[in-house]
Amino acid sequence: MSTHTQTEALTPEASNNNAKMTPQNILHLVIVCMGVALYALNSLITSTLLPSAVDDLNGLEFINWSALLYTTAAMIASLAAGTTKTKIGGRAILSIGGAIFAVGSLLVSLSPSMEMFLLSRIVQGVGGGLVLASCYTVIADLFPRHLWPTVFAMESAVWGIASVGGPLAGGIFAQTVGWRTGFYIITICAILFVLLVRSNFPKKENATSSKETESKTPLPFFRLGLLGSAVLIIAMGNREPDYALAFLIIGLVLLGYLLHRDKKSISSLLPKHGLSLFTIAGTGVTIIFLAMVSSISFMVYGPYILQKVHGFSPLAAGFMVALESISWTVAALICAKLPQNNRWRLYLIPAGVFTAFLGLFGIAQFLYGGPLWSLTVSIFLAGAGFGIFWADLSSIIIESGPSHEQDKRSGAIPTLQMCGGALGPAVAGIPAAMIGFQDGASLQIVEQTAYWVHAIFLPVLFIASLLAIYLVKLKNRDNAKRILNPAPETSPERL
């Protein structure tokens, strides 16, 4: 990172200079948000289109595999996005990812069988993962540092809108024009996205010597395969509850081996010290991973418990889940409007993580027995906490480290976000299986499940809160070092 960028990140004066977006910034922001929307809307629209699709294709027994294969493919592609961008540039990888996504969406809409549908979802996932991760990796190339929190806040807003509009749009498509037409529309949107990228994004930037060296190395397909295998094995625990703990342990061992191999590789997928708690970026991505692992249980178990215990309709239960995304969006937009002064904005990170912790604690306490107003407040706090810390934490991760690994740090954010989202239900499934949660379970079992599938993550999120405080100390110490000893223009940062 250049000396100019470092200074800009430190002083409130610099962060307020040229704070308004240029027309080109606005256009790039629209395109980046459109890329995020492609992934988010497709995931959420599919949730309501899928029942119609499996009925049409006689594939009810494979209904769970649609999301699993899509997410796994997206996770593998997102992990490769940083390295691939280094090789071919942001414009090219976004175009390729969008094109693959369009082809996958078209194949889904034309699928004559469930087997073809699932294969097409894998293609969709590869394209979606490349697009989503690349929408993070291009932020540092397209926007000045003081605009990063605004960009991340707008991306959060897209997710919030998608959480409400996606299932609604999918339901309308399923009831009116059919599920295939829904995927035709997604295909058209993907093609439009590719055209906008090709006509408005800059061509590949000049590579540094480090990037040139790395761009000549092949993609590490073995390590990408390890990631996919680990995720699928962990996810199998949800389908075989009696062996959930064994599947989880095997999957974690594979992930550990992947990290070990990647750290020693010349062409690493993650930053060399990307998961080290002695670095700012490593601590940051660890917080994201722990927070995401802890946030998924309510999405999985909440709707069922709300319907069975509190008598909610499916629509009302869905909007209670959407409240978490809505509060994330509201908090993110409010925080983006605050002055860009990193001397105090840093403290939004521990404040946000602890707010999410309080929300999770409330959900565990009130999901079964209520009162509903307390549960509603808890859900709102759980989402708002993410909105408070997400943009600033993501910005710090991207800026903190050697400049030639910036793409990898950017790509690590959505990768670990998805990895946490895949691991969370597997971990939550362990206490649920031990308690005996299944169709026809007694209210006593439902009560215990409602508590433990959330309470099991309270220590995890509390550790994330402590790490957030530690991150502030690391960042303040690094800021002081930069002021006393400014880094040369060409040298990488220390952390």
Instruction: Read off the pLDDT of residues 424-439 as tens digits, 9 standing for 90 and up.
Output: 877 887 788 778 776 6
**pLDDT of the residue at 365:** 93
Grouping H, G, I as helix, E, B as strand and the rest as coil, residue 206 is coil
More confident residue, 137 or 4: 137
Q: Provide the sign of the torsion angle of the four alpha carbons 10, 11, 16, 22, taken in this order.
A: negative
The answer regarding whether domain 1-216 maps to CATH 3.10.20.30 reads no
Mean pLDDT of 401-421: 78
Residue 387 has pLDDT above 80, yes or no: yes
Average pLDDT of 122-138? 90
Question: Span 26-54, mean pLDDT?
Answer: 83
What average pLDDT does the structure give for the chain? Answer: 80
Region 136-164: mean pLDDT is 82
Among 63-77, 184-198, 244-258, the range with the most confident prediction by mean pLDDT is: 184-198
pLDDT band at 204 (very low <50, low <70, confident <90, very high): low
Fold for the domain defined by 270-488: Growth Hormone; Chain: A; (1.20.1250)
CA distance 480 to 143: 25
Instruction: List, in order, residues 6 or more apart from 335 with CB less than 8 Å away.
Output: 149, 153, 348, 387, 388, 391, 392
Q: What is the pLDDT of residue 313?
A: 78
Kindly list the domain boundaries of the chain, sorted by start residue: 1-216, 270-488
On whether the CB atoms of residues 245 and 440 are closer than 8 A, the answer is: no
Per-residue pLDDT tens digits for 443-465:
888 888 889 989 999 999 999 99
Quote the DSSP letter at residue 439.
T
Q: Does the CA dihedral 283-286-292-294 come out positive or negative?
A: negative
Non-local CB neighbours of 309 within 8 Å, separated by 6+ positions: 368, 443, 446, 450
Q: For residue 101, what pLDDT is reported? A: 95
Query: Of 99-113, 226-240, 246-260, where does the model show the most confidence?
Result: 99-113
The 3-class secondary structure across 315-379, one letter per residue, is HHHHHHHHHHHHHHHHHHHHHHCCCCCHHHHCCHHHHHHHHHHHHHHHHHHHCCCCCHHHHHHHH
Structural contact between residues 348 and 388, judged by C-beta atoms closer than 8 angstroms: yes
Q: Which of 69-73, 229-233, 405-409 has the lowest mean pLDDT?
A: 405-409
